[in-house]
Amino acid sequence: MRTKKNAFFCFVALVLFSFLSTIASASEGSIDRLLKSSLGTASKESEVYDDLTHFMIANIQENQISNNFKNYCQDRDFQDSVDWSQIESSTTDSPEAKFHVLTFNCLEDYEVSLQDEASQREKNGYIFLATVDFKNQKILNLSSTKVQLDQQEFMKSHTILFVVKESVTIGLSVATTAAVISKMFPGEKDKQLHGRYMSALTAGLTSLAYHFLKLPPKKSFLLALGLTMTAGAIREITGNKDMRDMKANLVGGLIGGVFSLGSIKIEKNFL
């Protein structure tokens, strides 16, 4: 009996320890974790990038550099990112002071520059270099360098990459749908057509909603699937009313959406 009680108390203690460890980990912010590393990088999608930009904006002095930082880095366009490294400096006040050097790489959205005819042929951006004392919540130094990229070359390469990526995504989704539908409805070419069309439409609409309506990936997928399924339902109601067609539509739409979401994730992480 005593052995069972000891085992029970050990189990309760283990659960309590795990719970407290989880709370402590959750309460530790991304900047706290950054302070423990001497070198690192973060993309525009990360919590670290958000926290560092908020820290900079909260502690920066109002001037032209601060205005450029807010305009270029806070909107998180394209491949905005931040790198950091830790340095140590000995002073009379702080014999073992540790500072961080932050490098923000921020590009302006090309739609903005297109509004100004004088800058149609170039794409602007800034590299911001900041020396930060996180312990005392101070920005010790902030400088910036303007960079210019040829916008026509950027748009050309970006458009070609986008077209190739979407073609591959839709092609793979249609091929996968064809294989799945052929097993679900052997020999029924009508169901094959329903599934493949819906797969291509959902994949394409998901990408369009994400890139042009600026919706989050999951909302883009739900919007695309809702539109394609509504169109398919209207066609069935006014036509043959074959519910198996709707099943093929749903399977094709889901496969197309999954492939498009995978393509978006690859684009965000690697392109």
Distance CA 43, CA 96 (A): 30
122 vs 187 pLDDT, higher one: 187
Confidence (pLDDT) at 222? 94
- 1: helix, coil or strand? coil
* % of residues, the chain, pLDDT over 90: 22
Mean of the per-residue pLDDT values of the chain = 76
Q: Which phi and psi (to 5°) does residue 239 adopt?
A: -120, -125
Confidence (pLDDT) at 229? 92
* pLDDT band per the 50, 70, 90 thresholds, residue 70: confident
Task: Say if residue 28's pLDDT is above 50.
Answer: no
Single out the residue of 157, 159, 148, 156 nearest to residue 122, CA to CA: 148
Residue 75 to residues 49, 53, 54, 81, 266, Cα–Cα distance (Å): 11, 10, 12, 12, 21
Q: What CA dihedral angle connects 31, 36, 39 and 44, to 10 degrees?
A: -20
5 vs 32 pLDDT, higher one: 32
**pLDDT (tens digit per residue) in 212-250:** 888 889 999 999 999 999 988 888 888 777 888 899 999
Q: What value, to the nearest 5°, has the Cα angle with vertex 52 and ends 46 and 57? A: 130
Q: What is the DSSP secondary-structure string of 238-252?
A: TTT--HHHHHHHHHH
- 88: Cβ–Cβ under 8 A, 6 or more apart, which residues? 96, 97, 98, 99
**pLDDT (tens digit per residue) in 89-147:** 655 455 556 788 888 888 765 444 444 444 443 456 788 888 888 888 888 888 888 87
Q: Which phi and psi (to 5°) does residue 81 adopt?
A: -155, 170
Task: Say if residue 185's pLDDT is above 60.
Answer: yes
Task: Say if residue 27's pLDDT is above 50.
Answer: no
Segment 42-60 shows an average pLDDT of 84
Task: Quote the tokens at residue 173.
Answer: 């989704």
Q: What is the pTM of this model?
A: 0.48
Task: Say if residue 11's pLDDT is above 60.
Answer: no
Q: Determine whether 80 is exposed, middle or buried from the number of CB atoms within 10 Å of its CB (0-12, 13-18, 19+).
A: buried
* pLDDT band per the 50, 70, 90 thresholds, residue 76: low
Distance CA 176, CA 258 (A): 11
Paired with 141 in beta bridges are 131
